[in-house]
Amino acid sequence: MEELVVDVLVVGWGKGGKTLAGALGRQGRTVAMVERSSAMYGGGCINIACVPTKDLVHSAEQRRLGDDPQAWFTEAVAGRDALTDRLRARNHAMLAEVETVTLIDGQARFTGPHEVEVTAGPERLLVRAETIVINTGTEPAMPDIPGVASSPRVHDSVTIQHVDPLPERLVVVGGGYVGLEFASMFAHFGSRVTVVDRGDVLLPHEDRDVADAARAVLEASGVAFVTGARVERIDDAADAANVVITTGSGARELAADAVLIATGRRPVTGDLGLDAAGIAVDERGFVVVDERLRTNVPGVFAVGDVNGGPQFTYISLDDNRIVMDQLTGARTRTVADRVAVPTTMFLTPPLARVGLDETQARATGRELLVAAKAVADIAAMPRPKIVGETHGLFKFIVDPATDLVLGATVFSIDAQEVINLIALAMRGGVTATALRDGIWTHPSSTEALNEVLAGLRPIS
């Protein structure tokens, strides 16, 4: 068996790992990057997750009522594939052009704390490294429901992106981020969508006014909801998959041309041989790390989704910064340094949030100010009317003692951009008054801050 000795071994092409590999390689360290699938060069974000799904969301939003749903969807998928092909090639080139980085195709499996055997068909390569970074991410978790594994009409969040034909009837099992993004997307492509969720209320971690607004927008686009429901099985028929569910009012069947299972994700750790290295995992299989992303084995780190942290690409990028600080810096950076980290669910329009919501803020027992306003009622914000998307709302929670923003929800066109400005203000100690009195370009979505924050009032 051939052997390769490098300074750093990265297993998996995710955002944190590829960024580390490139930066360390350009500093002159020898780096090996191992990836089991050539279709995943660049990581999950650009190939199967953030980028391709948001490309499909954008395409769905552009469809007009007179456009043929199937033809539009087929063209959208082709555009999605062309985009990911370009990004994958560029990501591969960005590391291949670094002289000290070696790219290896194959399945990695630990054989010791600092050595990994890479298998590609009959070929074997033993890679040894003082520093190893596990960056294998997560994959859709399919529940143990009869019919899920055997039905050709059942999809996960990856395969549904190439469903053919476009389903006239789509049942989405799961009302979280993934489920609702796909429900919104396919409704705009022209499918009749039903979301089945086991919770009694939709989006239980959002304030009720926000969750109700999101549900209303989804229902207006044609999405139906069945909450408090348990999926018992999926039966294949000649022309449909029958999703058998149980609710408080009894059992019923939902006929579907396609079924999307969106009930969570699991870490890609099962084939890594972590036990051979003595690397600890939790009860779900996620690699256990400390605040500096170190595993229990010295010199071995885990970055990105596989370490059980928030499953966002920008968190993986920050994981890279923490590990870089360990390897080349002052070794002081930790996950505790993350403040006011925003999130966005890409509905139409997007729903973004940062900091505390009203429920969480009330639980602190402090005095609070709140401001909330429907997008359609914000006179100082004409951009939504210009682009023809006036759904949603803005909501702020402010500490009256300090005039600082404790949290905000932006459910609006451009929410994914506006929330970043608010998050920066929260990190930098910029007051609500400064945001209210800010001079913003016109017409822009940022102008909403002028009007909405002028309506702050005490929470009763």
The residues assigned a catalytic role are 442
- State the Cα–Cα distance between residues 313 and 396, nearest whole angstrom: 26
Task: Report d(CA 1, CA 130) in Å as an integer.
Answer: 20
CB contact burial 281-301 (16+ within 10 A = b; e otherwise): beeebbbebeebbbbebebbb
Provide the token pair at 381. Answer: 């914000």
Q: Answer for the pair 236, 151: CB distance below 8 angstroms, yes or no.
A: yes
DSSP string computed for 190-234? T-EEEEE-SSSSSSTTS-HHHHHHHHHHHHHTTEEEE-S-EEEEE
C-alpha 314/C-alpha 459 separation (Å) is 33
Query: Residue 405 in contact with residue 373, Cβ under 8 Å?
Result: no
Residue found by looking up tokens 């490294």 in the block: 129
Element (H, E) at 163: none
Task: Express the helix, strand and coil content of the chain in percent, nearest 5 each.
Answer: 35, 30, 35
Q: Which strand (E) or helix (H) includes residue 279?
A: none
Q: Dihedral of CA 19/22/26/30: which sign?
A: positive
Q: Which distant-in-sequence residues (6+ apart) come within 8 Å of 37 by Cβ? A: none
